[in-house]
Amino acid sequence: MAQPTPLMPHATASWLVDNTSLSFEQIAEFCGLHILEVQAMADDLASSKYTGRDPVHSGELTHEEIRKGQADPNYRLRMHRAPVDVSRTKGPRYTPVSKRQDKPDGIAWILRNHPEMSDAQIGKLIGTTRNTINAIRGRSHWNIQNIQPKDPVTLGLCSQRELDAAVAKAAKRAATVEDVKEDDLTIVDPRDDRERLIEELRAERDAAAKAAVEAAQEAEAEAWLEARRASEAAGES
């Protein structure tokens, strides 16, 4: 079983080149690099300059192990303590500089194809800010004319599994909100409205008929009283 490589193989190789007399083969094998990479570091021909990282200080090697390797060019260095994997659990997603220019395209794709995703989800998935998302949504982004919606998975901004998980979560939340809205709504049957209107009209008609009867009765009583008064007046005279 192959042993693990140092946490920072290039920086470790650079330190071993500068501080030991180990062979290029030994350093390359221990760091998991190609021998030509190590030789380029030694000749200052590497395209990137690395700050050396002491593997003894980190516990990955011991001075005794280095002495064994220096004494025997064929000796294979053994890892003293494997590095602990570092995982990011908080903070925004880190995106390489070469990929950052693709972020607006990925954001535009998500806004077009998955509008149910929240800004917080998009920000966590792509590694961007709410301001950028809102600028692209509102077409006020400074480079909006050149933004072309592209699948963030194809662009390398996230994995397909991460995208699917975010979409599923957004869909589940949207379904829950819709259920709550439906529960809060009072469903009104159009037939109920029609029957209610008929009842109101019937009540108004009955009230009008009753008022007419009462008016007629009052008029009849008034006419009877007038006739009686006239009769009494004539008898007195």
Work out the number of other CB atoms within 10 angstroms of the CB of residue 98. 8
Residues 64-116: tens digit of each pLDDT: 999 999 999 999 999 888 776 555 555 555 555 545 688 899 999 999 999 98
Do 157 and 221 fall within a single domain?
no
**Residue 48: what pLDDT?**
59
Q: Which domain holds residue 228?
A: 189-237
Nearest to 93 by CA among 10, 5, 152, 172: 152
Q: Do 195 and 170 sit in the same domain of this protein?
A: no
Q: Tell me if 170 sits within 8 A of 127, measured CB to CB.
A: no
Please count the CA atoms within 13 angstroms of the CA of 89 that sit on its side-chain side.
Answer: 2
Residues 33 and 49 reside in one and the same domain: yes
Query: Do 50 and 121 fall into the same domain?
Result: no
Distance CA 78, CA 87 (A): 25
At 116-163, the pLDDT tens digits run 899 989 988 888 888 899 999 999 998 889 999 998 888 888 888 888
Residues 178 and 101 in one domain: yes
Overall size of the chain counted in residues? 237
How far is Cα 199 from Cα 193, in angstroms, rounded to an integer? Answer: 10
Asked if residue 85 belongs to a domain, the reply is: no
* pTM, 2 dp: 0.40
Q: Report the number of distinct structural domains present in the chain.
A: 3
**113 and 157, same domain (yes or no):** yes
- Cα distance between residue 149 and residue 179, in whole Å: 31
Judgement on whether residues 128 and 202 belong to the same structural domain of the protein: no
Last residue of a domain, one of 144, 164, 184: 184
The reply to whether 107 falls in a domain is yes
